[in-house]
Structure 1
Amino acid sequence: MAQKSTLPCSIRPYKPSDKASVVSLFRFGVLEHVYPAFFKSISHADHIGVAISICMAGYVLGGSSYFQALLFGGAWAGLVYYCCHEIYTGYLNRKLSGEMDDVQTHFLDNPNNNFWVAEMDVNGQSKIAGVVAVLAHKGGDEPEGGRSNSWNGSVMATDEGDGSYGEVFQLVVSFPLRRKALGSQLLQTAIDFCKEQGLMSVVLETSSPQAAVLALAKKMGFVQTSSHNNTHSSRWMAKLARISVLRMEKVI
């Protein structure tokens, strides 16, 4: 098996002048999962069964019309795609109007948090090739009853100890520069920062279609501690899209 090449890069704190490039990369990093989520969902046995049934209904109702059968089946596939799209765009818009709208306040002005960009030279030009951030949650900062979940604000049970942990916020690497160990460098930067802060663990939450992130997290010692299907979207959308939110955690 071919070894992944490692590109030299500089991982540094975010600067206000990075905003346009970071937002563009962040947007791509979220929306790129719409199609994988759709194809994973529509290929599930339950959805295939529903699609066949709907096509048959269209065929019968259309008077043995193959066109009507395809139309009904296409409508079902369109609905599933719409649900996947709304889940990710809803998450994106919430973050763009929240943490990403003011990185300085949410991350850099708080010494417990941080936001980094990976910068490298591409064809003689400096390019932001990746981003990662950490939001620290210390014992006294937890909502009553447990940890808050970044997808839908639900409450999760705390671990033993003071419950402090660092939440990895949207690890993204530019598509042309993937499989060059940049994601590992960014995630390790976040882990090292959490160690310096004296946090007990590092938490990374991701959606089930994000196979590359899950593989990277497992490779770097994260284990899945919980999962749920409650996103910020309507429950029926989450159910049709069949998207789970997975919580990966690494004790440090």
Structure 2
Amino acid sequence: MELTIRRYQDPDKETVLSLFSQGIEEHIWPCFTNAMSSPLYLCFSLGLGVTGYLLASGLGALVLVSGWAGLVYYCCHKFFADFVRDSLKTDMQDIAASFMAQPDDCFWVAETVATGKVVGMVAVVAKKNGAERHGELFRMIVSSAIRRSGHGSRMVQTVLDFCKQRGISKVTLVTTTAQTAGVALYQKMGFKLVRSYTKTHLPNWMRKITRVIILVMEKSI
């Protein structure tokens, strides 16, 4: 599928917001399955099943294990759904003002040549830490229709080229361990993990249940 990567325009907003919401919320199920398939959770689920069976036969086992799985799914859903909700109320509410107001900031969309449909997005915002400037990559979303075809790499490279042209020597980004495809793409493009942390917008007990870790990655250009 042939794509054109161009700067965001106001008529793109409705499609971009929909793609953004779908792209973030699709991580809910992988987050849940990754958590539930961990050795710790498998053992815990087995223990709940045995306990429930001993207390109330098969029905008890089903109730306890289902309740536990439901709690894990709820926490994973809340992690990503809350992020979407908060983003739509803040920077994604006015994309041009948030990501295109300064000359070293930009927001791009990827659209199909044949139909003009927006199927991807990425943004960069210039940040300053003392005398050093760096670009922070934001809102990287690639539609499932164009994955595994090199278009994600093209979008990241667009950010790298833009920053290099403006004399910015480093690009950073923040992602999560739940976004495995994105992490693999960034590593392929030369980004390295520089730190990780666990503090999020969720209460700590909920974050622990999701088993999500926040990753900070960077690439010198």
Normalising by structure 2, what TM-score? 0.95
The residue number in structure 2 matching 1:31 is: 25
Q: 2:42 aligns with which of 17, 38, 48?
A: 48
The residue number in structure 2 matching 1:147 is: none
The unaligned stretches of length 5 or more in structure 1 are: 1-6, 141-161
Residue 107 of structure 1 contacts residue 114 of structure 1 at CA under 8 Å; is this kept in 2?
yes
The residue number in structure 2 matching 1:139 is: 129
Residue 4 of structure 2 contacts residue 113 of structure 2 at CA under 8 Å; is this kept in 1?
no
Normalising by structure 1, what TM-score? 0.84
What SS is found at the alignment partner of 1:243? coil
CA distance in 1, matches of 2:181, 2:202: 24
Runs of 4+ in 1 over 4 A off after TM superposition: none
The residue number in structure 1 matching 2:120 is: 130
The residue number in structure 1 matching 2:134 is: 165
The residue number in structure 2 matching 1:189 is: 158
Asked whether 1:229 is paired with 2:219, we answer no
What SS is found at the alignment partner of 2:2? coil
Deviation at 1:57, TM superposition (A): 2.1
> Which amino acid letter does the alignment assign opposite residue 240 of structure 1?
I
The unaligned stretches of length 5 or more in structure 2 are: none
Residues 57-68 of structure 1: pairs in structure 2 closer than 5 A: 57-62=51-56, 65-68=57-60
> Which amino acid letter does the alignment assign opposite residue 4 of structure 2?
S
CA distance in 2, matches of 1:197, 1:98: 27
Residue 138 of structure 1 contacts residue 199 of structure 1 at CA under 8 Å; is this kept in 2?
no
CA distance in 2, matches of 1:179, 1:53: 39
Deviation at 1:198, TM superposition (A): 2.0
CA distance in 2, matches of 1:178, 1:77: 30
Q: 1:20 aligns with which of 14, 18, 21?
A: 14
Deviation at 1:60, TM superposition (A): 2.4
Percent identity, please.
40
**Two-structure CA RMSD over aligned residues (Å):** 1.3
Deviation at 1:28, TM superposition (A): 1.0
What SS is found at the alignment partner of 1:240? helix
